[in-house]
Amino acid sequence: MSKEYDVAIIGAGSAGLTAQEEVIKHTDNYVLIDDGPLGTTCARVGCMPSKALIAVADDFHKCGFFDEYGISGTQGLVPDHKKIMARVRAMRDEFAGGVIQEMSGFMDKVIRKRARFIDANTLDLGDETIRAKSIIIATGSKPFIPEPWLPFKEFIIDTDQFFELETLPRTMAVFGLGVIGIELGQALHRIGVDVTAVTRRKTAGGLTDPKLEEYAFEHFSKEMKIALGPAEILGKTETGLEVGAGSKRWTVDRVLIATGRRPVLKDLNLECLNIDLDDKGMPVFDRQTLQIGNLPVFIAGDVNGLKPILHEAADDGTIAAYNACAGSVTPFKKRVPLQITFSSPDIAIAGLSHKALIQQGIDHVVGEASWEELGRARMMLGKAAGRARIYAEPQKGRLLGAELMAPAGEHMAHLLAWAMGANLTLKEILGMPFYHPVPEEALLDAFFQIAEQIQEPLPSPILEKAEGRSHGK
Ligand SMILES: Cc1cc2nc3c(=O)[nH]c(=O)nc-3n(C[C@H](O)[C@H](O)[C@H](O)COP(=O)(O)OP(=O)(O)OC[C@H]3O[C@@H](n4cnc5c(N)ncnc54)[C@H](O)[C@@H]3O)c2cc1C
């Protein structure tokens, strides 16, 4: 006899654990299935260890500017790769350990086995089958090595392996200049690894606005080596691995692969569910309910391929769990999109990206900001760089989206996303305080440019008049 549950969650990552938090509000009769290492991708091999490495790299990078500050003697500082990686791992262990500690309250609900569908209510766990009224797929994503490169696996490191390195290779090619490629590639370069990043197009960190893509590419090219072209692995040499991009060929000790991740769907036997697949082979599901077809099956987190970032995975977990437990299925609105790349300067997209605006044919005006001449950015050595393009609707200048590469960009992206979430008009935004001197001041240029293009003129002065107190002089 199979055990019967109200809800089965496959995957105890960020989406699965958030789903668990919602499920327990509705039922105690649930199970969480995971056969992999616990602690979540985010804490073990993702957000957290990568940011721990970036923190070291950014601080060490400042040594290169210290002479200009009037501080001498920093030239003698040497990054100890072994110690750096050991600290990153120690922090990683704390973060992942914290997650596991939190799970200790419900470990009796966790089954450490691999799940496979038998039908929409039944899972094969190897030596047992279980049944559930609803099932949540929260199996995450994995780094992907293209088949032609598999024979060179001994030279290839993916992000699942990277943080286990005891020390760092002398030379590295980083394939891909998306979010993970630029974050890790720049950090490795900054702590003295001889890095060459490879990108197919002149872009970085997930930007989509051609003007910013070009700017970011040029900026990062000044700091580190970037080769343009499809990445190639040409073969082993006596000293390492020969790689190529365009007409360039060179030999490296290791390749860090950051060319994209794939949803973990292959082994779930979804074929047995007779569901529709899209042109990428992904199950067709409702983006607002996360339900697959009309089945009692929901898909949450990286595995659904919508937005492979943590807060989206967590929201997905909540939505999937709510719908898995409720008698009917409810669509949920998404928060304002927000994506941050922790390069230096930060890259971020808040709201609609340029690509989304163009694809959806949304009418908009654009304001531009720059941090190159901004006083505060110039004081902070190495920080006087960055541009933003802010997109607004042409009537009242309500913000639609923004792409930026800026010092403290992670904070400004939040500010912009929150202004979008509150649906503020340009007049309302300009009614807010802007302190001096802060990086946010640069945004004013973009807002004033938008003001000149919108149909509804802003009052002059912009300051709100106090009611009923006007009187003769
Ligand atoms: C290097 C790197 C840096 C990142 N940085 C950031 C960042 O700064 N900010 C941000 O927002 N996001 C970042 N991300 C993305 C973020 O980590 C992910 O979006 C998030 O962890 C996804 O969570 P998840 O629950 O979907 O998947 P996971 O946490 O991967 O959980 C999936 C779980 O499912 C289990 N599983 C899979 N298949 C089965 C099966 N058949 N049976 C049982 N169990 C199964 C796995 O063992 C795993 O535990 C980063 C990712 C990487 C790789």
Residue 249 reports pLDDT greater than 80: yes
**For the CA of 184, the nearest atom of ligand 1:** 1
Q: What pLDDT does residue 33 have?
A: 98
Using CA positions, which residue lies closest to atom 7 of ligand 1?
47
Query: According to the 3-state scheme, what is the secondary structure of 22-90?
Result: HHCCCCCCEEEECCCCCCCHHHHHCHHHHHHHHHHHHHHHHHHHHHHHCCCCHHHCCCCHHHHHHHHHH
Tens digit of each residue's pLDDT (9 = 90 or more) over 317-365: 999 999 999 999 999 999 999 999 999 999 999 999 999 999 999 999 9
Share of the chain above pLDDT 70, in %: 100
Evaluate: CB of 302 within 6 angstroms of ligand 1. yes
Environment class of residue 328 by beta-carbon count within 10 Å: exposed (0-12), middle (13-18) or buried (19+)? exposed
User: Which one is predicted more confidently, 383 or 85?
Assistant: 85
* Mean per-residue pLDDT of the chain: 97
Asked whether the beta carbons of 345 and 222 are under 8 A apart, the reply is no
Tens digit of each residue's pLDDT (9 = 90 or more) over 111-142: 999 999 999 999 999 999 999 999 999 999 99
**For the CA of 162, the nearest atom of ligand 1:** 1
Q: What is the pTM of this model?
A: 0.97
Q: How far is the CA of 93 from the centre of ligand 1 (A)?
A: 16
Angle between helices 14-23 and 310-325 (to 10 degrees): 40
Which residues in 375-433 belong to E strands, given as ranges?
387-392, 399-406
- Cα gap 20→25, rounded to integer Å: 9
Asked whether the beta carbons of 205 and 344 are under 8 A apart, the reply is no
Tens digit of each residue's pLDDT (9 = 90 or more) over 146-160: 999 999 999 999 999
- Cα gap 203→209, rounded to integer Å: 9
Summarize the confidence of residues 366-373 as an average pLDDT: 97
Asked whether the beta carbons of 266 and 114 are under 8 A apart, the reply is no
Q: How far is the CA of 243 from the centre of ligand 1 (A)?
A: 29
Using CA positions, which residue lies closest to atom 52 of ligand 1?
46
Tens digit of each residue's pLDDT (9 = 90 or more) over 263-293: 999 999 999 999 999 988 899 999 999 999 9
Q: Which of 310, 411, 276 is nearest to 50 (CA)?
A: 310
The residue written with tokens 């509804």 in the block is 456
Tens digit of each residue's pLDDT (9 = 90 or more) over 409-447: 999 999 999 999 999 999 999 999 999 999 999 999 999
Q: Which residues contact 386 (CB under 8 A, 6 or more apart)?
A: 345, 370, 371, 372, 377, 404, 405, 406, 407, 409, 442
Evaluate: CB of 159 within 6 angstroms of ligand 1. yes
Q: How far is the CA of 51 from the centre of ligand 1 (A)?
A: 15
Q: What pLDDT does residue 467 have?
A: 85
Paired with 117 in beta bridges are: 123
